[in-house]
Structure 1
Amino acid sequence: MPPMALFMITLGITLGTLTVTSANHWLTAWLGLELNMISILPVITKQKHPRATEAATKYFLTQATASALILFASTLNAWQTGSWDITQLNNKLSCILMISALTMKIGAAPAHFWLPEVMQGSTLTTTLLITTWQKIAPITLLYMISNHTQPNITLFIGLLSILVGGWGGFNQTQLRKMMAYSSIAHLGWTMTVISLTPNIALTNIIIYMTISTPFFLLLTTTSSKTLQALSTTWTHTPTTTIILMLLLLSMAGLPPLTGFTPKLLILDNLVMHKLTLTAATMALLSLLSLTFYLRTTYLLASTASPTTTQSATLWRLKSHQNQLTTTLVPIALFNIMILPALLM
């Protein structure tokens, strides 16, 4: 990609997100979302492959539909209340439509159908952008309208997302699809408390982003896209393999790793709001996600020395990739060990 084109795309993605996060007017937020969507389409279609074109088409149609719903809901609210302020979403129908549109934007269930296919047709770097940076703007809007959202709707979306995320990733061998369903499950945990305690929901999604970022970058350095390719990482980079295992366990929410913190806070908050049955259901549904996290971790551990892997090595690290791995390992360790450091 030419440097000028890369600069313009990066500028568009950054400005789009910053416009949404600093907006007070619905039209300004809509403009930022559109700029963000248009800027990332060339990134998805960078690969000259039919799967990339298909992924970009699905992404565009879904995001355009969600943007149209946002525009319709904000216009309806302005017609009924006379206010375009984001925090003044007082019309009940507008609020329901807005939640539906933002749910489609971030890829939470039941509007999750596009996320696994788009991530499978994109590169690992693009999937990192889709699961982290592209979710900042819609999550910010959900945070800003959290006072007007109905807990019953967000709880239903959250529970359904946790179920779909766990069940969908159960049988996946493609790492990008597995991480897509992992993202859906973590969005479910965020949606359950977005109307009850927005700060905890924001903490959950931030911690997930800080854990998934080094995970995707380490996958990029090893060019691993399937479980079979991932099983060969012990041969050349044992340190990277150990970090990948810890990151997977942290995403699974096992104590004392950092990923356990937001889940504990969310369950505690639900119990405090007398939603014990909902908290118990979420804990049980999260066992589905735990299964494929542990399966991947077991696969990595079972190929460790002195055990020899039967899979052919599909990649070789280059010099700049070795340098990147050396930089990523301390960052990943810091993200994993935040909770134990705080408890010491």
Structure 2
Amino acid sequence: TTITFASSHWLLAWMGLEMNTLAIIPLMTQHHHPRAVEATTKYFLTQATAAATLLFASVTNAWLTGQWEIQQITHPLPSTMITLALALKIGLAPLHAWLPEVLQGLHLTTGLILSTWQKLAPFALILQLQPSSSTLLIILGLTSTLIGGWGGLIQTQLRKILAYSSIAHLGWMILVLQFSPSITLLTLLTYFIMTFSTFLVFKLNKSTNINTLATSWAKAPALTALMPLILLSLGGLPPLTGFMPKWLILQELTKQGLAPTATLAALSALLSLDFYLRLSYAMTLTISPNNLTGSTPWRGPSTQLTYPLAT
């Protein structure tokens, strides 16, 4: 990731992306479960396809223009190919199908890394490309917000819900990228903090699907009481933290004369809010059993350090 951040040459950026991909594969397969191996294989094939496309596009650009600089992508063909390759790497719709399946097969800790840190390097390259592929970015962003909202409605597995949440949030960032990179970075930071909090709570409660959320209150009452704030903040419900970036993005899109795009994005936020409400309901308003049988601890570990994450 650091190599990609520091590079101005396409070959060096490509090498950084490949090192980033290869570094996480041992973490994905550390549990030696067949589902983890399957997820790792899907991830590797997807990333290899994106990397091959990226390398081919950068070589094509050098052949057509004689430039290897990242910010010197002026020809429309390599610009489009590079944008689509990076969209495939981070899981933007309609190139998103691999992300829910891969995340479902991973441990929550590895899934957190895949949902946050692994997106930084490709996103940094998209940030430098944005002037040359503005229309394509709007299409990818709007498609991601809509599919991220619709896809999460029918899911019961928490990791798949978080995957569609990631797709939707990336769509919001891509929509405003070319108009206000500062708002994009603010949205990215907010998303990272809230996603880290969500994965941490699910890991502490050992939750994997919506049905297991019903026992969260018995295991960690204080943390479960705060968890709806994090989930609804992810959904963008005012006046929580997650509402501010979405409001700024809608304002910027309207200012740029993209009111229809802003309207569709706002409607897609309602779809996302629906499954966050469903998770909040399952955690706090369903009746948990009076006792918990088996090896599950009656009370989770101390959660005082996680209280600030709810804000």
With normalisation by structure 1, the TM-score equals 0.86
Mapped pair 1:49 → 2:55: no
The structural deviation recorded for 1:149 is: 2.0
The structural deviation recorded for 1:196 is: 2.2
Alignment deviations for residues 219-256 of structure 1 (CA, whole Å, 9 cap, x no partner): 11111111111111111211111221111000000111
- How many Å separate the matches in 1 of 2:63 and 2:71? 15
Q: Is the 8 A contact 2:205 2:216 kept in 1?
A: yes
Residue in 1 that maps onto 2:69 = 85
Mapped pair 1:327 → 2:305: yes
Q: Is the 8 A contact 1:218 1:240 kept in 2?
A: yes
Mapped pair 1:30 → 2:10: no
The structural deviation recorded for 1:316 is: 3.3
Task: Could you list the structure 1 runs, at least 4 aligned residues long, displaced by more than 3 angstroms after superposition.
Answer: 307-319
**Range with greater deviation from structure 2 (251-260 or 293-302):** 293-302
Q: Is the 8 A contact 1:45 1:53 kept in 2?
A: yes
Residue in 2 that maps onto 1:342 = none
Alignment deviations for residues 247-269 of structure 1 (CA, whole Å, 9 cap, x no partner): 10000001111101110011000
The structural deviation recorded for 1:312 is: 5.4
- How many Å separate the matches in 2 of 1:313 and 1:261? 42
With normalisation by structure 2, the TM-score equals 0.95
2:195 to 212, 216, 233: 212
Alignment deviations for residues 56-111 of structure 1 (CA, whole Å, 9 cap, x no partner): 00000000010111111111111122211111111111110011001000001011
Mapped pair 1:222 → 2:205: yes
- How many Å separate the matches in 1 of 2:288 and 2:131? 55
Residue in 2 that maps onto 1:316 = 296
- How many Å separate the matches in 1 of 2:288 and 2:215? 9
2:137 to 154, 157, 164: 154
Q: Percent identity?
A: 46
1:65 to 49, 64, 72: 49
Distance 1:117 1:315, change over 3 A: farther
Distance 1:317 1:86, change over 3 A: farther
The structural deviation recorded for 1:216 is: 0.5
AA aligned to 1:329 is Y
Aligned length: 311
Distance 1:190 1:302, change over 3 A: same
2:184 to 172, 188, 201: 201
Root mean square deviation, CA, Å = 1.8
Mapped pair 1:165 → 2:144: no
Mapped pair 1:265 → 2:243: no
Q: Is the 8 A contact 1:229 1:311 kept in 2?
A: no
- How many Å separate the matches in 2 of 1:313 and 1:33? 46
